[in-house]
Amino acid sequence: MRPEELIRKKRDAGALTREEIFFLIEHYTRDAIPDYQMAAWLMAVFWRGMTPAETADLTEAMMRSGQVLDLSELPGAKVDKHSTGGVGDKTSLVIAPVVAAAGLPVPMISGRGLGHTGGTLDKLEAIPGFNVRLTLPEFRRALAEVGCALIGQTAEIAPADRKLYALRDVTATVESIPLITASILSKKLAEGIDALVLDVKVGSGAFMKDRESATRLARSLQEIGTRMGKRVVALLTNMDQVLGRAVGNALEVEEAVAVLKGEEREDLRALCRQLCAWMLVLGGAAQTLEEGGQRYDELVRSGAAAEKFRQIIARQGGDPRVVDDPRRLPQARERRDFPAPASGYLARMDAERIGRAAMVLGAGRARVEDAIDPAVGLVLHKKVGERMEQGEPLATLYFNHAERLADASARLEGAFRVEPSPPKPTPLVFETLT
Ligand code: URA
């Protein structure tokens, strides 16, 4: 087999066989195919697409390019959740302890934030001492002891994805449904899970801005995951406004803990409850979604979910006292209110602009190698549909570098639309693909 033949075959809209796909991925992972040939093949895939069978083979080849955890010695179905990324999305910090408290192991390998979207690892690292860099044997031990462990991708997990993603990033081949599907699923399925809940975000703060492309991605993820023998559900959820009210790492941990302890927090609590209910159903810990939701309520009300989060934090070297005293989280030195531009109802927010405002304060990174400041970010005082009076605080910015404030405030200027009458409510979950 020769790479140029496989590039030509895909260029001419052919479907590659399983052997051909495994050949490309295995050889590329061990540097036996150069970047220029792989880049040409990726561009051919970008234009020609892949059949579901090819996408499943690509996912499997990428997953098998590294270690695939076998967690069969742990009792219960292993379940996880993956979000395609949004602004203020701290659901993993709530969901992982709740589902682990229900007795299902949660092996969660997460990512970092980039651009306007946040990442679970950065949020966890805002907890003093929390170590996300466990080796796979340590990950497995932590999982066996407390029922949940949260770490970053290691060199052993799907190395093909690491190489391919870097190449896609510089060859304009990221936005391809089969390539995104294989990238996400190869990493998640290497965790040794039995079931996966996918939260595919759509809207101003999401990677997919329109409903049609988000639906295509959700369908592809659900179909390929199922083909690979896993129980998979994909929810298409609203990312037209910040999820919850906090954006920024320590601020988001504080908000996640509040939800874990039963505070309302609107859409954030509702989405956590629904995602958990699905995880419990797929993992066999609840018969119906309704029962899953009730289980969530009980675990939160009894304090079992918060206690599980303390255990997870302590097991990974962090300070569990943050669960009871958020002042132990990093605190910004200064804060400044951002006033409402007019009186009326908040009709729309541009979640991406808000995410970028938090990023310029230091909460996120523009490039992978940038450092972040865990203490900074912003908290919104209004959600879409709420009334406000001109000049009252619409948000509070938390910062350590005053020279960044003007840029952050300028980004917020155009991020809110105020109208005289309340907007039509939009659903939190648009569609659920089972
Ligand atoms: N997230 C991933 O992990 N991979 C992609 O290709 C896109 C988003």
In degrees and rounded to multiples of 5, residue 323 shows phi and psi of -65, -30
**Mean pLDDT within 85-100:** 97
Average pLDDT over residues 128-142: 96
Mean pLDDT of 179-192: 96
Q: Determine contact, residues 95/218, Cβ cutoff 8 Å.
A: no
- The two structure tokens encoding residue 63: 């997953």
pLDDT at 111: 87
Reply yes or no on whether the pLDDT at 312 is more than 80: yes
User: What is the per-residue pLDDT across 59-80, written as a single tens digit (0 to 9) for each?
Assistant: 999 999 999 999 999 999 999 9
Mean pLDDT of 338-357: 97
Judge whether residue 112 has pLDDT over 90.
no
Which sequence positions are flagged as catalytic?
A: 82, 161, 168, 183, 187
Look at domain 331-419 and name its CATH class.
alpha beta
**Pair 386, 421: CB distance under 8 Å:** no
- Is the pLDDT score of 114 beyond 80? no
CA of 7 to the centre of ligand 1 (A): 22
CB 184 near ligand 1, within 6 Å: yes
Indicate whether 231 pLDDT > 90: yes
Task: Give residue 132's pLDDT.
Answer: 97
pLDDT band of residue 382 (cuts 50, 70, 90) is very high
Long-range contacts of the stretch 208-214 (C-beta < 8 A, 24+)? 208/84, 211/236, 211/430, 213/177, 214/84
C-alpha 344 – ligand 1 centre gap (Å): 39
pTM reported for the whole predicted model:
0.95
CB 15 within 8 A of CB 29: no
* Cβ(58) – ligand 1 distance below 6 Å: no
Which of 3.30.360.10, 3.30.450.20, 3.40.1030.10, 1.10.530.10 is the CATH number of 79-153+188-323? Answer: 3.40.1030.10
Pocket test for ligand 1, best of 184, 208, 217, 224 (most atoms within 8 A of CB): 184
- Residue closest via CA to ligand 1's atom 3 equals 184
Q: Which atom of ligand 1 is nearest to the CA of 179?
A: 6
pLDDT tens-digit profile of 254-294?
999 999 999 989 999 999 999 999 999 999 999 999 999 99
Split at pLDDT 50, 70, 90, the class of 367 is confident
Return d(Cα 417, Cα 108) in angstroms, integer: 37
Cβ contacts of 322 within 8 Å, gap of 6 or more: 127, 128, 253, 257, 313, 328, 329
Look at residue 370 in the predicted model and tell me its pLDDT.
85
Neighbours of 128 (CB within 10 A): 16
**Mind listing the pLDDT tens digit for each residue in 406-428?**
999 999 999 999 999 999 999 99
Question: 3-49 and 331-419 share one CATH topology?
Answer: no
Q: What is the structure's pLDDT at 50?
A: 98
Architecture of domain 3-49: Up-down Bundle (1.20)
pLDDT at 365: 87
- 90, 252 Cβ separation under 8 angstroms: yes
Model confidence at 336, pLDDT cuts 50, 70, 90, reads very high
Q: How far is the CA of 319 from the centre of ligand 1 (A)?
A: 31
pLDDT of residue 233: 98
Please name the residue whose Cα sits nearest to atom 6 of ligand 1: 180
Would you state the pLDDT for residue 293? 98
Tell me the per-residue pLDDT of 99-110, one tens digit each, with 9 for 90 and over.
Answer: 999 999 999 999
Contacts of 136 (CB under 8 A, 6+ apart): 67, 69, 154, 156, 157
Of 163, 165, 170, 171, best ligand 1 pocket probe by most atoms within 8 Å of the beta carbon: 165
> Is residue 6 lining ligand 1, measured as CB closer than 6 Å?
no
Domain residue spans in the chain? 3-49, 79-153+188-323, 331-419
Under 8 Å between Cβ of 286 and 276: no
- Say what the pLDDT of residue 426 is: 93
Pairing status of strand 387-388 against strand 393-399:
unpaired
User: Above pLDDT 90, what percent of the chain?
Assistant: 94
So what's the pLDDT on residue 169?
86
Please give the pLDDT value at position 101: 98
Work out the average pLDDT over 171-191.
95
182 CA → ligand 1 middle, Å: 8
The answer on pLDDT for 151 being more than 80 is yes
